[in-house]
């Protein structure tokens, strides 16, 4: 198996599990259209690529520093999720037949998932475990760069797939269904945020 293919598999395995990032990507797609969902996914893929880069090149000081501050980082992430859940209750849904043009809101979609993904330093441990399992920890610098590019590509493949599928479903939804989906996503985001805060309290 080539190093690039290994990276793509790692990127898919990190991105695919359903979590708050996936909920946000689906919410953006349903409320604003495919482009916004894809921008949200791009933010998550960028953060995955950064963490993959840290793990691949063994930046021990950075990794150790992030792990040492994980309680504060999780606290920020949990509060951010609660805020996003609150915002979801208040936000409306765009017309299902309209595909919004990119604007500064697209940058906000990117930044939100980018920062939220970065607030989970445990991702580094996931990368380290997967890298070790696929025997890529001793790769050369060129192979490590190829691996990280593969991770980013694999993650983006998942977000592209998700935004296209959810975008197709979006066309069949009326305004009432969109409002209920919006409320459901708000509850899920709040649940993730409260769970993250609970983990901080018991740590």
Cα distance between residue 181 and residue 194, in whole Å: 20
pLDDT one-digit tens code per residue, 99-126: 444 455 788 889 989 988 888 766 777 7
pLDDT one-digit tens code per residue, 1-27: 688 888 888 888 888 776 788 888 888
- pTM listed for this prediction: 0.74
pLDDT for the residue 97: 44
pLDDT for the residue 157: 93
Spell out the per-residue pLDDT of the chain, length 203, in tens: 688 888 888 888 888 776 788 888 888 888 888 889 999 999 999 988 888 888 777 666 666 676 677 777 778 878 877 887 777 777 654 444 444 444 557 888 899 899 888 887 667 777 777 776 666 656 677 887 888 899 899 999 999 998 898 888 887 877 777 777 778 878 887 887 888 788 778 87
Cα distance between residue 78 and residue 193, in whole Å: 4
pLDDT for the residue 139: 63
pLDDT for the residue 61: 65
197-202 long-range contacts, Cβ below 8 Å, gap at least 24?
197/75, 197/78, 197/79, 197/82, 199/74, 199/78, 200/71, 200/74, 200/75, 200/78
Give the start-to-end residue ranges of the domains of the chain.
3-202
């Amino acid at each position: 198996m080539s190093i690039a293919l290994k990276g793509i598999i790692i990127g898919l395995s990190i991105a695919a599990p359903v979590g708050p990032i996936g909920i946000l990507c689906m919410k953006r797609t349903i409320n604003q259209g495919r482009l916004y969902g894809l921008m949200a996914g791009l933010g998550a893929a960028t953060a995955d690529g950064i963490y993959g880069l840290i793990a691949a090149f063994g930046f021990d000081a950075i990794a150790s520093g992030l792990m040492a501050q994980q309680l504060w980082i999780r606290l920020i992430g949990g509060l951010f999720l609660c805020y996003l859940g609150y915002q979801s209750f208040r936000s409306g849904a765009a017309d299902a037949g309209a595909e919004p043009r990119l604007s500064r809101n697209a940058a906000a979609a990117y930044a939100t998932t980018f920062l939220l993904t970065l607030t989970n330093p445990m991702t580094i441990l996931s990368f380290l475990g997967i890298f070790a399992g696929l025997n890529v920890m001793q790769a050369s610098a060129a192979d490590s760069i190829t691996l990280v590019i593969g991770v980013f590509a694999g993650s983006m493949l998942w977000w592209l797939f998700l935004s296209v599928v959810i975008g197709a479903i979006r066309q069949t939804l009326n305004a009432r269904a969109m409002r209920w989906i919006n409320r459901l996503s708000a509850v899920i985001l709040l649940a993730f945020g409260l769970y993250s805060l609970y983990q901080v309290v018991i740590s």
